[in-house]
Amino acid sequence: MFYENYIAENKAWIDEMVAKLDKKLSRVAVESRDKLPYTTDANGKHDNCLDPATGKNVTWWTNGFWGGLMWLMYEKTGNEEYKKTAERSEELLDGYLANFQSLDHDSGFMEHILAGANYRLTGNEKSKNRNLYCAAALASRYNLSGGFIRAWNWEAGLTIIDTMMNLPQLYWASSITGDTRFKKIAMAHADMAMVEHIRPDGSVVHICSHDIEDGHVIETRQGQGYAVGSTWSRGASWAVYGFVLSYLHTGKQEYLEASKKAAHYFITGCATNGWLPPVDFRAPEEPVCYDSTAGAITACGLIELAKVLPEYEKPMYLKAAFEILKAMEKEFCNWEDSTDYILGMGTEAYGRKVHVPIIYGDYFFAEAILKLAGSEFNPW
Ligand code: GLY
């Protein structure tokens, strides 16, 4: 029983991480209750995407992560302060739902881990309604003749690897309504992404531009990585975790293989870099640039792979998850009482907002630790 034994060997570290997460987040949960944080100021205090001074508003794609993190911590600890902050986030995000034109491929990031988590944990009917509304909007983005879910709201033919993480909202909608159209749309998109977004060597394409009539790929684009043809590490992490999630929801073996393939590329690129994820696996060595968020997201995917793969396949994935998490904890985490964030050194895009705390870095770091601590609740 490799998985259970390895977890037992690392129990002291896992327990220490859970205790540190709870100590810090139980304070910040109260102090940042009315915020929708994205990053922090120079003193490490949360910003607020509702603040007009930041130029951002409630529709920013990461606004579900703070409340989502609160649900993860509530599920683990039962502390009502986490629940109150998660509920407040959900209320604030009604400003996003009120503006239909602001909905896009990111509705799972926005609501599935927030309202969707609320419904799954508490049975709240209003939350179920919010998540169903988003699922319907997401399904409506499906291009019938092209066979893909459209990204963003400008050009109609763009797809991005990130969308893999929003498909669980569609799988969930099918399971609770009994209407299989949601699942079929999600699987059609995942089938497309396996072919067009995963290269034969396991590296990942961030953006494809498709012909909107027949779906063929006209060109690939740079997106948030270094260049066209490079490998943006967060895009790779969306593939590792996104495909294993599609496997968990559908049982389709090809999705498991796609997740493994992307994982192999990610693990190699990380292992040859001291287990700290660079922002792009195909970029010049200088300037040195990391993206901790990619490591945290991938760790979640690797843990899920280790859980479902046969006994002798498990070690590589679980050990790699621990290597990444431990290296990042040592080099990038901030456990001080005076700051609001935990995982530093996130990077929004190659050359843009480099080495800053990003809210979903904290979210996925906590999700990974809680998985290792035995949490059965999968928010996706
Ligand atoms: N989904 C956008 C990003 O990963 O930055």
Percent over 70 (pLDDT), the chain: 98
| Of 234, 241, 279, 356, best ligand 1 pocket probe by most atoms within 8 Å of the beta carbon | 234
Higher pLDDT, 367 or 52: 367
* 176 alpha carbon – ligand 1 mean position (Å): 28
Confidence of residue 52 (pLDDT cuts 50, 70, 90): low
| pLDDT tens digits for range 60-78 | 999 999 999 999 999 999 9
Instruction: Please give the number of the atom of ligand 1 that sits closest to the Cα of 165.
Output: 1
Whether 293 is in the pocket of ligand 1, judged by its Cβ within 6 Å, is: no
- Does 237 sit in the ligand 1 pocket, CB within 6 Å? no
Q: Distance from the CA of 311 to the center of ligand 1, in angstroms? A: 33
Cα 178 to middle of ligand 1, angstroms: 31
The average pLDDT across 226-236 equals 98
Q: Are 64 and 93 in contact (CB under 8 A)?
A: yes
Atom of ligand 1 at shortest range from CA of 224: 5
Q: Which residues are paired to 198 by β-bridges?
A: 204
Q: Is the CB of 162 under 6 A from ligand 1?
A: yes
Per the listing, tokens 């909007």 go with 137
- State the closest ligand 1 atom to the C-alpha of 106, by its place in the atom list counted from 1: 1
> Is residue 304 lining ligand 1, measured as CB closer than 6 Å?
no
Tens of pLDDT, residues 310-347? 999 999 999 999 999 999 999 999 999 999 999 999 99
Backbone angles phi, psi at 159, to 5 degrees: -125, 150
Residue for token digits 């498909």?
167
Mean pLDDT across the chain, nearest whole number? 97
Ligand 1 pocket residue status of 197, Cβ below 6 Å = no
Q: Is the CB of 250 under 6 A from ligand 1?
A: no
Q: Can you tell me the distance from the alpha carbon of 42 to that of 66, in angstroms, rounded to the nearest whole number?
A: 19
pLDDT of residue 22: 98
Ligand 1, pocket-test mutation among 56, 162, 347, most atoms within 8 A of CB: 162
Q: What is the pLDDT of residue 55?
A: 56
Q: What is the pLDDT of residue 56?
A: 65
Report the DSSP pairing between strands 158-160 and 148-149: unpaired
User: Which atom of ligand 1 approaches the CA of 238 most closely?
Assistant: 4
Euclidean distance between CA atoms 294 and 275, whole angstroms: 12
Q: Would you state the pLDDT for residue 113?
A: 98
Q: Tens digit of pLDDT for each residue in 166-179?
A: 999 999 999 999 99
Find out whether the beta carbon of 224 lies less than 6 Å from any atom of ligand 1: yes
pLDDT at 359 over 60: yes
* Cis geometry, peptide bond prior to residue 287 (ω within 30 degrees of 0): yes
Q: What is the DSSP string of 162-183?
A: GGGGGHHHHHHHHHHH--THHH
Flag whether pLDDT at 207 surpasses 80.
Answer: yes
pLDDT band at 99 (very low <50, low <70, confident <90, very high): confident
> For the segment 264-322, what is each residue's pLDDT rounded down to a tens digit?
999 999 999 999 999 999 999 999 999 999 999 999 999 999 999 999 999 999 999 99
Question: Hey, whose CA ends up nearest to atom 5 of ligand 1?
Answer: 348
All residues at 6 or more sequence positions from 51 whose CB lies less than 8 Å from its CB, including other chains: none
- Is residue 283 a contact partner of residue 289, using CB atoms and an 8 Å limit? yes
- Poorest-confidence range of 33-47, 91-105, 229-243, 352-366? 91-105
Q: Confidence class of residue 57 from pLDDT cuts 50, 70 and 90?
A: confident
Ligand 1 touching residue 234 (CB < 6 A): yes
Structure-token pair, residue 73: 């911590």
Q: How many CB atoms lie within 10 A of CB 181?
A: 13
Nearest C-alpha to atom 1 of ligand 1 is from which residue? Answer: 162
Atom of ligand 1 nearest to the CA of 109: 1
pLDDT on residue 184: 98
143 Cα–ligand 1 center, Å: 22
Q: Strand, coil or helix: what is 44?
A: coil
pLDDT interval class at 53 (50, 70, 90): low
Expressed in angstroms and rounded, the spacing between residue 170 Cα and the centre of ligand 1 is 19
What's the rounded Cα separation, in Å, for the pair 250 and 253?
9
More confident residue, 69 or 99: 69
